[in-house]
């Protein structure tokens, strides 16, 4: 159906980092992929699953932009975006069936975590729950799980032993959290991303820097927190809030936490075979920390 094809290609055509299929390929290079076709299938399943989740996320977030282009829900409507997301997941499920039951099970469990993470984010933390801990749990489900599965898919296609697959899972999960926390900082500090700076702030979305700001008890920080938690629909107020956040030490504190977690991710690589593939995975830890877009 031409319309479905057009709508399904919308987010893919807008670009993106293709980080998850890259991770599939890098992890597979730790061994010998059983075939080029299966490696392609594994990379494709991970990217399609990711893109499917983006269609749903944009509906949940009422987003207007995705990867610098109008989001599918703004081009068409929420119903179309949801259905196209479902269609892409169905296509990914069809492809993964050719890889075997272990791949099918992992993809299904990953999608389950994506949904659970979205639900937890929608509900917010319980009254007696630590806000930062609750946020990190959401990030692990919504971002870490799929990046972990991407690394695992690559290792599984290459026939790596169970202990190395487990190491890739730990590496990918932590790297995924680092990836999202880095995004949190970029939303405040960068003006060269595909979405408008301060998008999360304007929408009242909790991020690592704003959650960490609550730990400060000086008058300036309390005043800034009131701004962050207030109405930021006015462009001038948002710009002022962004300026003050960029000048606050909480940004450096958040960057230090991102760097620490990147080292935790890197430590998981110790059991993997030495060589260019492991070095490339290690370099990803640095890239995710230092990226500006």
pLDDT of residue 198: 81
CATH of domain 174-284: 1.10.600.10
Judged by DSSP in three states, 66 sits in strand
Q: Is 27 exposed, middle or buried (0-12, 13-18, 19+ CB in 10 A)?
A: buried
pLDDT of residue 215: 92
pLDDT of residue 129: 86
CATH of domain 1-160: 1.10.600.10
Where in the chain is CATH 1.10.600.10?
Answer: 1-160, 174-284
pLDDT average per 10 residues of sequence, the chain (293 residues): 69 71 96 96 94 75 61 69 84 96 97 93 86 94 96 98 98 96 91 65 89 94 94 92 96 96 97 96 92 62
- State the greatest distance between any 2 C-alpha atoms of the chain, in Å, as a whole number: 61
Q: Give how far Cα 8 sits from Cα of 5, 49, 106, 210, 259, Å.
A: 5, 12, 24, 34, 36
pLDDT of residue 193: 47
pLDDT of residue 147: 97
Structure token digits, residue 178: 């680092």
């Amino acid at each position: 159906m031409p319309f479905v094809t057009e709508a399904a290609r919308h987010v893919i055509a807008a670009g993106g980092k293709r980080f998850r299929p890259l991770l599939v390929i890098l992890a597979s290079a730790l061994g010998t992929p059983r075939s080029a076709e299966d490696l392609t299938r594994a990379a494709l399943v991970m990217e399609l699953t990711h893109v499917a989740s983006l269609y749903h996320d944009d509906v949940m977030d009422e987003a207007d932009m995705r990867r610098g282009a109008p989001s599918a829900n703004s081009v068409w409507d929420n119903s179309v975006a949801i259905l196209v997301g479902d269609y892409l997941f169905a296509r990914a499920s069809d492809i993964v069936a050719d890889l075997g039951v272990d791949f099918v099970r992992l993809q299904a469990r990953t999608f389950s975590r994506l949904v659970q993470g979205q639900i937890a984010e929608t509900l917010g933390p319980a009254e007696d729950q630590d806000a930062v801990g609750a946020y990190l749990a959401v990030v692990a489900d919504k971002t870490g799980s799929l990046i972990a599965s991407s690394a695992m898919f690559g290792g599984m296609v290459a026939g790596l032993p169970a202990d190395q697959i487990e190491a890739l899972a730990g590496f990918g999960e932590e790297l995924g959290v680092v990836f999202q926390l880095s995004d949190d900082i970029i939303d405040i500090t960068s003006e060269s991303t595909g979405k408008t700076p301060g998008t999360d702030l304007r929408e009242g979305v909790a991020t690592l820097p704003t959650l960490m700001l609550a730990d400060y008890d000086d008058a300036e920080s309390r005043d800034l927190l009131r701004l962050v938690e207030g109405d930021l629909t006015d462009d001038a107020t948002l710009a002022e809030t962004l300026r003050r956040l960029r000048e606050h030490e909480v940004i450096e504190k958040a960057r230090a936490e991102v760097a620490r977690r990147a080292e935790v991710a890197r430590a998981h690589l110790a059991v993997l075979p030495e060589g260019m593939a492991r070095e490339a995975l290690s370099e990803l830890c640095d890239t995710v920390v230092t990226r500006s877009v």
